[in-house]
Amino acid sequence: MAEGFRVTYATMSADNEELHKGYEEGIEQAKAQLGGTIPIVVNGQERPGEGPYELNSPIDGTLLAHVSQATRQDVEDAIASARGFAIEWERTGWRKRVELMRRAADLITERRNELSALMALEVGKNRLEALGDVEETADLMRWNAKEMEDHQGFNVPMQAMGAPGQYYDVMRPYGVWAVISPFNFPMALAGGPSSGALVAGNTVVFKPAHQGALLGYKLYEVYRDAGFPAAAFHYLPGRGSVVGDAIVHHPDVAGITFTGSYEVGMGIYRSFASDYPKPVICEMGGKNPTIVTKHADLDKATDGVMRSAFGFGGQKCSAASRVFVEREVYDDFVTRLKGKTEKIKVGNPLERDVYLGPLINEDAVHTFEEAAEEAKKNGNVIAGGERLTEGEHAKGNFVQPTVVEVPDDSWIWKRELFVPFVAVAPFDELDDAIRKANDSEYGLTAGFYSEDEAEIREWLDRIEAGVVYVNRRAGATTGAWPGVQPFGGWKGSGTTGKAGGGPYYVTQYMREQSRTVITE
């Protein structure tokens, strides 16, 4: 990849020959690895697990790997090993852990072409999205390491009062931390939480998503090759309802980071604590609104909405799915958005000029078809609305990027669809638009387009979301970057009010111990 050319989610285009040449080499490296078996890894030992499943590409069904599924015994052994090593890992000290984490981040950067090509094959991300996910993983690791270093391991002298001695406050890890990740950021949302937990001194048991096990295994390899001790990180692929459930309900798991749907996340949130409270970080779904007023630059607004509604096929928790546009500019906005949507190239995401790859599976296509049906019956399809089944689209889960109008009471305004599908509606009063934007159980991201200072202030003060953007062409609601836009949700989108890649993230993986050591 070209020196100095850095792909983030705000990268608008990559007319960069070196970048593409590197990525194409990555495709060759990736393809050479397909068809093998991915094992369980407990304490550095590969295990066969049980009932391997076929991991196929959503692009054309190609067999990527046979993935072993962890047994209950594998889960037990991994947690026992992680628990047994916890004190030693804490005693290793934050400086060493920071050094190892930085080495892991650098390995990811070195391997980015191969990793992003594998990601395109596993989940269908286009080039820029896949490179972004891989680079984000490295930057989340670097961010978490920097937080530990900036705070010198969170060891703070306190006031001495009374007998002479040492009076200090230290943040200490919880012990065994579980990380359960979703399919849509198979590297960043496995690497971000696990790096936070590890650098803070916890040992980690990790379960990737069913359709994310390949990149999950690659993350394990990165930690191994960076020199992390075998007992610090255990890789446990398998079904969420079996392996995930066994991890969540194990009494020796001290804390958990889950990223995924509201339904599963709320179940974990409610049931994770056993005899006493335990920290639970759940990052969940979104139904992210964008408001466009008559004072907006419509070219910027339609670029931003188009990118956030259709980037990775709407399969982002931060996807823009509800857009409210002031009536005076509504028709103009809709015409421009329709034009940009219809130009999107849908196809094999490994190809250079493809923006929209396949949906993750047949269930997602079903959701798309259900939503399109609702719009055709009760509203109006402005662009798209169909599944694509001909030619290069025949073997994968391809659909058209879709823009619809539906009545206020349609379920499309409420349900997270996770497909390339956005609803638009006109509004007359900003007050009403903000009220509608906030009328959701979710509160993850939100976008606003207006060149009017007073409107911007009003919106910033009232919008209920953890990550908000004003006048952003690179994405109305998507594209947060570690250290730039901390990422976390309010309301039904997140349990902690703290954000990944931000200043309050890593402390969640530790608890305070106030120490008084009298020396007289």
Q: Which residues are marked as active site?
A: 283, 317
The interface with ligand NAP within residues 433-452 (CB under 6 A) comprises 444
Task: Name the strands in the sheet holding 40-42, side by side, starting at the edge strand that comes first in the sequence.
Answer: 45-47, 40-42, 233-235, 203-207, 176-180, 255-259, 280-283
Residue 498 CA to residue 489 CA, distance in Å, equals 8
By the rule CB under 6 A, 244 interacts with ligand NAP = yes
Backbone angles phi, psi at 282, to 5 degrees: -115, 120
Build a one-symbol-per-residue string for 106-135: x at contacts with ligand NAP by CB under 6 A, - elsewhere.
Answer: ------------------------------
Which one among 101, 118, 130, 284 touches ligand NAP, defined by CB under 6 A? Answer: 284
Shortest CB 33 distance to ligand NAP, Å = 21
Q: What's CA 433's distance to the chain center, in Å?
A: 28
The residue with tokens 């009494």 is 251
Which one of the spans 80-88, 128-136, 156-164, 284-292 is the region binding ligand NAP (CB under 6 A)?
284-292
By the rule CB under 6 A, 416 interacts with ligand NAP = yes
Shortest CB 267 distance to ligand NAP, Å = 6
Nearer to ligand NAP, 159 or 241 (CB): 241
- Which letter, b or e, does each residue of 232-271 get, where b requires 16 or more Cβ atoms within 10 Å of its Cβ? bbbbbbbebebbbbbbbebeebbbbbbbbbbebbeebbee
Build a one-symbol-per-residue string for 305-344: x at contacts with ligand NAP by CB under 6 A, - elsewhere.
Answer: ------------x---------------------------
Nearer to ligand NAP, 98 or 253 (CB): 253
Which one of the spans 37-45, 129-137, 203-211, 329-337 is the region binding ligand NAP (CB under 6 A)?
203-211
Locate all alpha helices (DSSP H) within 159-202, ordered by sequence.
188-199
By the rule CB under 6 A, 285 interacts with ligand NAP = yes
Which one of the spans 124-132, 280-288, 328-336, 405-413 is the region binding ligand NAP (CB under 6 A)?
280-288
Size of the site for ligand NAP (CB under 6 A): 31
CB 188 within 8 A of CB 8: no
By the rule CB under 6 A, 481 interacts with ligand NAP = no
Cβ atoms < 10 Å from Cβ of 47: 19
3-state secondary structure of 517: strand
Q: Nearest-5° angle of CA 307, CA 311, CA 317?
A: 105
Residue 348 CA to residue 483 CA, distance in Å, equals 32
Shortest CB 93 distance to ligand NAP, Å = 30
Residue 308 CA to residue 323 CA, distance in Å, equals 11
CB 383 within 8 A of CB 341: yes
Stated as kind and residue range, the H or E segment containing 168 is strand 165-173
By the rule CB under 6 A, 482 interacts with ligand NAP = no
Shortest CB 132 distance to ligand NAP, Å = 14
Which one among 184, 288, 397, 400 touches ligand NAP, defined by CB under 6 A? Answer: 184
Structure tokens at 383: 């662009």
Shortest CB 264 distance to ligand NAP, Å = 4
Could you give the angle at which helices 213-226 and 112-123 cross, rounded to 10 degrees? 160
By the rule CB under 6 A, 159 interacts with ligand NAP = no
The bridge status of strand 510-518 relative to strand 165-173 is antiparallel
Which one among 195, 493, 495, 508 touches ligand NAP, defined by CB under 6 A? Answer: 493
Nearer to ligand NAP, 120 or 248 (CB): 248
Structure tokens at 95: 């400086």
By the rule CB under 6 A, 196 interacts with ligand NAP = no
By the rule CB under 6 A, 209 interacts with ligand NAP = yes
Stated as kind and residue range, the H or E segment containing 105 is helix 94-110
Which one among 128, 197, 236, 248 touches ligand NAP, defined by CB under 6 A? Answer: 248
Task: Give the closest residue to 444 by CA, choosing from 283, 302, 324.
Answer: 283
Residues of this chain that interact with ligand NAP (CB under 6 A) are 180-185, 189, 207, 209-210, 239-241, 244-245, 248, 259-261, 264, 283-286, 317, 416, 418, 444, 489, 493-494
